Structure 1
Amino acid sequence: MASLHAPLLLPPLFLSVLLLFLSNHSVHVHADTARATGTPDGTEEWGYIDVRPGAHMFWWLYYSEKVVTSSNLPLVLWLQGGPGASGVGYGNFQEVGPLTVDLKPRSSTWLNAAHLLFVDNPVGTGFSYVENSTLLTRNNKQATIDLVAFLGKFFGSHKSLKSTPFFVVAESYGGKFATELGVALKEKIDSGSLNINFKGVALGDTWISPIDFLYAWPPLLQSFSLVDEEGASSLLRYADSAQSEMENGNFLNATMIWGDMEEAVLKLADDVDFYNMLKHDKSEELSANVHGLARLAARHLSVTQSSDLAEVMNGPIRQKLGIIPNKISWSESSNLVFGALSEDFMKDTIKQVDELLTAGVNVTIYSGQLDLICCTTGTEAWLQKLKWSGLPGFQVAKRTPLYCDNDRQTAAFVKRYKNLSFYWIMNAGHMVPSDNPCMALKMLKLITGQSGSSFFSES
C-alpha cells in the first residue's frame, strides 16, 4: 500500500487492468425508459428515466398523506453517498422513508413533513444501471449532468410538482453531488431553461473537502482517547502525504493514501466505527485477496451493507415494483461506481458551496457529533475556507440550543446567518436520521419553513 516516505505511484498495469475491466463489464439489458407505475391509491410512483442512451436511472416518489392539508408541502430529493450507495434502498428503508427494513411503519419518516423522492445515483447504483460500464460516470460533473437530465424529465412528467418547494438533501458523498447539482439547477433556472421552485440544499455529514477530514481525524481521535499523541502524529503523516499528492494533481494516488490512512486508524483505534466513534466494529472481514480500489470501495461502502436489506430489496420490494429487469440485482453498494469515480474522490466542492451562497440559495449544513468519517471539526474547517461575503457575519452569529418534543435534553445547536445555517446534532453519528430521528425531523421542518417561525434570519 502507500508509503509515507515517497509518492505513491500506481503501476500502469494496475490502471490498465482497471480500465479494461470497466470497459468490458456489460449488462446488456435494454429498458423501456417510459416505464413508470405506482400504487393504486396514487401515494407512490416509481420508474426508470433514461438520462443518456443506455443509462437508466431508477426513482421512487412518495407523496405525503399531508398533501390534503398543505398545498405548499415541499418535495425533498434524497441523495445517498458512497459514491455507489443506494438511496432507494438505504436512505429509504434505513433512514427516512415510510417503512423500516422490517417493512413496518416508521414513526419518524420525513413524509411527516414532505413528499420524498429517492433516486439511485449515479447510474450503476442500486436498481439504476448502464447497458455497458463504459457509460458509468467518471467524475462528479458527469454525474451532475445525469441528475439534471433526470430532474428535467421527472418534472416534465410531474408538472403539478413544478411549483412545489423543492429541496435537495444529501448525506456523506452525496453532498458533493448536491453542491454541483445545486449550482447547475440555479444556472438553468436563471437562464429560463428549467422551471421549478428550487428552495435550497441541505448537506448532512458530507464529504465536501476530504483533506480537511483527514487532517481532523488525528486530533479528534486523540480527544476521544482512541489514539495517543504518537498515534496521532503517525496519522498526520498520511494526511500530509495525501495533501502532497493532491497538490501535484495525483488525485487517484491521494485516494489510495486515504485508504491506507483509514486502515491505520482501524489498527490504532481497535476498529473504531467510522460512523460512530463510541462504537467499535469487529465485523469487517475483507479477504486478503481484495486489493486496491476494490478494497477501498468494499470498506467505505460497508456502512450500507445489510443482508436483511438486500433480501428485502431483491424479494418483496422487487416484486412490488414489478419493472426491474431480470438481470439487474439490487446491491447495497456498487464497487464499479466507486472505482469509476475514484479520481474525483479526494477533490473538494467548496467552490460550489460558495457559488450557492453567493447566488442566494439557502444552504444548510448539519453534522452528527459522533461521526468520524465526515467529522464536525473537519466540516468546520472547510467552512472557514469559504469566500462568501457573509462568512464573517456567520462566524459571530449566536448559537442556539434546540430540543425535541417535551425533552429538555439538548438535541442540537443551530447557528444561522442570511442564507447559511449550521446544525450540530447531538447523540448522532454519520446517519443523523437513524441516530437522532426526532431532531432530524424537526430540523427538516425548520429547513422547509414548517416550524412556525422564519428559518433564515439575520444575526
Structure 2
Amino acid sequence: MTMASRLHTPCLSHILLLQLLLLCCLFALPSYADISSGTSDGAEEWGYTDVRPGAHMFWWLYYNEKDSTPSNLPLVLWLQGGPGASGAGYGNFHEVGPLTVDLKPRSSTWLNVAHLLFVDNPVGTGFSYVVNATLLTRNNKQATTDLVTFLGKFFDSHKALHKSPFFVVAESYGGKFASELGVALKEKIDAGSLSINFRGVALGDTWISPIDFLYAWPPLLQSFSLVDEAAARNLLSYADSAESEMKVGNFLNATYIWGDMEEAVLRVTDNVDFYNMLKHDNSESLSLNAQGLSRLAARRLAVTQSADLAQVMNGPIREKLGIIPSNISWSESSGVVFNALGEDFMKDTINEVDELLAAGVNVTIYSGQLDLICCTTGTEAWVQKLKWSGLSEFLSAKRTPLYCEGDRQTQAFVKRHKNLSFYWIMNAGHMVPTDNPCMALKMLQLVTGQSSPGLRLQATF
C-alpha cells in the first residue's frame, strides 16, 4: 500500500477494530483473580493484578536489601516503550535489573540504589494478558487508568512501601505513559484518594512529541554524513505530510506516514540502526507482505526481538515464576498492542509534562547522544514548546559535565532549573542503561537523592 492510497482509505479505524475482533480467539483464556508469589527470602515478589475484569497485568518487584526498612529507599517503577514492549523482560534483563539475559549478576543494576518494580504494560504485553482482544487498551488514557488501578492495588498490599520516595522512570514510548500517569497520580494524591510519596518522573529517550522527531531526523542524519542534502529534503516531505494529517485529526494516517519515513531512512542510509546511529543492520528486511499497522508492527518486531531473551523468559523464568498461564507465550514486543494504540501513536504529551512542572513535580529528561528514533535534537525541540513559567531560565542555565568515578572522560552533561533537569548522556543510544551503565546508575542516584550505590545480595534464581 502506497502513502497516497493510505491517505484515501476510508474507515481505517473500523478496519483496525475488525482486525482486533478477529484476534479474539487468540486470547480465549480463563480469567484468574489477583495472584502473587515470590522467593523464600522475600527479596523478590511477582504476580498478576486484575486491572479490569479479564485484563491481567503482570508485575515483578525486587527489594534492595541494604536497609532493613524498605521505606528508607526509593521505589522505581520502570515503564518500557513500544508500545507493547515488555518491561519485566527487556528492561529487567537487558537494561537495569539484577540479572543479565545470561542470568548472571549485573554490577550496574539499578537495584544498587532503589527497589525496582517492573510491569508489562499495557495489558497484552509480555506476560500480561487479556481474555478477549476487545479488552486491549485503545488509547493512552485507558492504559493510564489501568496503571493507576494497578498501583492502587499494589500499594494497598505493600504498606511498607507507602513512604518510599516513588519515581516513575520510562524509556521510549513509555514516556507518554509516564507523563500521563504522573498527572493522574498527582490528581489522586491531591484529592486524598491515594497516599504515596510520589517524587517525580524521569523520561529517557521518550516519544513525547513524535512530530518533533520526524523533523529532527533529516538534519541529524545529514550532520552524521548518513544522507546528503537532496535525501534530507526528500525525508522532510514525509514529516510535512505527517504534520498535515495531524492538523486535521488524521492521526492514524500520520502513523502510517511515520512508518513510510522510517523505511525511507533505512533505504537511503543503508539500514542505519535507529537506536544507535553509529551502527547499521543490513539484516533488516523491508519486503514484508503485511499492510498498514500490521506491517509497521511486524517490521518493528523484526528489529527488536531477542531470541535469547525469549528462550529465557519462556523457559527458566516461566518455571521460576510458576504463575504464568500455560496458554501465554512471552514475546519481547506485542504487535497486537502496537496496533491497538495506532490512533494515539503520533499524538504528543507535551501538555502533560507542562502540568507536572506547573504542579511542582520533579521532571527529569535524559537522552543518549547516539539515539536516532528519539534523538536529542528532537527532544530539545519539544522542550522548547513547554509553557512552563521557568522555561526561559532553564534554557539559559549552564550545563555541568559529569564523570564516572576514576574516569575523567566526560560521560554526561546536566542542566537544572527548579524541578526540571536534562541529562545529555554521552556514548549512548536509545537504551542508555545498556550503552552507558555507569552514567545511567549515577544519574539515578542524583535523581533519587542517593549519594552512593549500596551493595545488594544477588537475586535468587
Please tell me the TM-score bracket, short chain as reference: over 0.9
Aligned position for 2:149: 149
Aligned position for 1:436: 436
Q: Secondary structure at the match of 1:104?
A: coil
Contact 1:7 1:245 in 2 (8 A): no
CA distance in 1, matches of 2:242, 2:451: 43
Q: Counterparts in 2 of 1:289-300, with a 5 A limit?
A: 289-300=289-300
Aligned position for 1:21: 19
Query: How big is the shift at 1:2?
Result: 4.4
CA distance in 2, matches of 1:317, 1:336: 23
Query: How big is the shift at 1:311?
Result: 0.3
Letter in 1 for 2:7: L
Letter in 2 for 1:416: R
CA distance in 2, matches of 1:436, 1:191: 40
Residue 9 (structure 1) aligned with residue 17 (structure 2)? no
Q: Secondary structure at the match of 2:66?
A: helix
Aligned position for 1:206: 206
Which moved further from structure 2: 41-50 or 59-68? 59-68
Query: Are residues 56 and 80 of structure 1, via their aligned partners in 2, closer, same or farther at CA, if it must alter by over 3 Å?
Result: same
Deviations 1:105-158 (A, max 9, x none): 100000001000000000000000000010000000000000000000000000
Letter in 1 for 2:405: D
Letter in 1 for 2:194: L
Deviations 1:359-413 (A, max 9, x none): 0000000000000000000000000000000001101111000001111000000
CA distance in 2, matches of 1:58, 1:70: 22
Aligned position for 2:120: 120
Deviations 1:82-125 (A, max 9, x none): 00000000000000000000101100000001000000000000
Deviations 1:61-96 (A, max 9, x none): 000122338852100000000000000000000000
CA distance in 1, matches of 2:379, 2:290: 31
Q: Secondary structure at the match of 1:409?
A: coil
Contact 2:20 2:134 in 1 (8 A): yes
Aligned position for 1:102: 102
Deviations 1:268-295 (A, max 9, x none): 1110000000000112235531221112
Q: Secondary structure at the match of 2:61?
A: strand
Contact 2:89 2:332 in 1 (8 A): yes
Contact 1:90 1:304 in 2 (8 A): no
Contact 2:70 2:161 in 1 (8 A): no
CA distance in 2, matches of 1:331, 1:362: 33
Aligned position for 1:167: 167
Aligned position for 2:40: 40
Query: How big is the shift at 1:29?
Result: 1.8
Superposed CA RMSD = 1.4
Query: How big is the shift at 1:16?
Result: 4.2
Query: How big is the shift at 1:300?
Result: 2.8
Structure 2 residues without counterparts, runs of 5 or longer? 453-461
Deviations 1:324-382 (A, max 9, x none): 00101101111110000000000000000000000000000000000000000000000
Query: How big is the shift at 1:24?
Result: 3.2
Aligned position for 2:456: none
Aligned position for 1:329: 329
Contact 2:71 2:163 in 1 (8 A): no
Aligned position for 2:229: 229
Query: How big is the shift at 1:10?
Result: 2.6
Query: How big is the shift at 1:32?
Result: 2.7
Query: Are residues 15 and 71 of structure 1, via their aligned partners in 2, closer, same or farther at CA, if it must alter by over 3 Å?
Result: closer
Q: Secondary structure at the match of 1:65?
A: coil
Query: How big is the shift at 1:298?
Result: 2.2
Q: How many residues align?
A: 450
Contact 2:263 2:286 in 1 (8 A): no
CA distance in 2, matches of 1:17, 1:303: 26
Contact 1:201 1:363 in 2 (8 A): yes
Contact 1:78 1:168 in 2 (8 A): yes
Query: How big is the shift at 1:299?
Result: 2.4
Aligned position for 2:267: 267
Query: Are residues 303 and 113 of structure 1, via their aligned partners in 2, closer, same or farther at CA, if it must alter by over 3 Å?
Result: farther
CA distance in 2, matches of 1:292, 1:70: 47
Query: How big is the shift at 1:303?
Result: 4.8
Aligned position for 1:197: 197
Query: How big is the shift at 1:36?
Result: 0.4
Letter in 1 for 2:270: D
CA distance in 1, matches of 2:71, 2:126: 32
Contact 2:3 2:256 in 1 (8 A): no
Query: How big is the shift at 1:447?
Result: 0.2
Aligned position for 1:456: none
Letter in 2 for 1:370: L
Contact 2:313 2:330 in 1 (8 A): yes
Residue 419 (structure 1) aligned with residue 419 (structure 2)? yes
Compute the TM-score of the two structures, normalised by the length of structure 1.
0.96
Q: Secondary structure at the match of 1:99?
A: coil
CA distance in 1, matches of 2:57, 2:420: 31
Contact 1:2 1:256 in 2 (8 A): no
Query: How big is the shift at 1:20?
Result: 1.6
CA distance in 2, matches of 1:259, 1:37: 41
CA distance in 1, matches of 2:293, 2:70: 47
CA distance in 2, matches of 1:172, 1:318: 26
Contact 2:288 2:299 in 1 (8 A): no
Query: Are residues 105 and 120 of structure 1, via their aligned partners in 2, closer, same or farther at CA, if it must alter by over 3 Å?
Result: same
Aligned position for 2:138: 138
Q: Secondary structure at the match of 2:91?
A: helix
Structure 1 residues without counterparts, runs of 5 or longer? 453-459
Contact 1:286 1:295 in 2 (8 A): no
